[in-house]
Amino acid sequence: MRQHRFHRDHGGHSVTVFLRQGLHTEAELLVDGKEVGSGRLTGRGPWVLADALPEDPPVPFTVRIGPSDPPVCVLEIAGAAHPMPPVV
């Protein structure tokens, strides 16, 4: 099983994606170190995860995960795309 971790700080918050690829692909999404979503991803990708930063009002965002090898993650927030670098 291959494991990948991606991280980006944005506006005083952190967004992290853990991706596990094997027989199935599973993802875990964390905001400020707290899990906000997890599950099995279907198909070969690309995949999209979505949540919101805990602001008043909440700031929605999406994370796009490309099916490349190795995968690539991009944080999309407020109309802008920000690459999420891999963490080793």
Q: What is the pTM of this model?
A: 0.93
What radius of gyration do the chain's Cα atoms show? 12
pLDDT in tens, 61-76: 999 999 888 899 999 9
Q: Which distant-in-sequence residues (6+ apart) come within 8 Å of 55 by Cβ?
A: 11
Give me the mean pLDDT over the 46-58 stretch. 96
Interval 2-46: pLDDT, tens: 999 999 999 999 999 999 998 889 999 999 999 999 999 988 889
Query: Domain map of the chain by residue range?
Result: 2-84
pLDDT of the residue at 15? 98
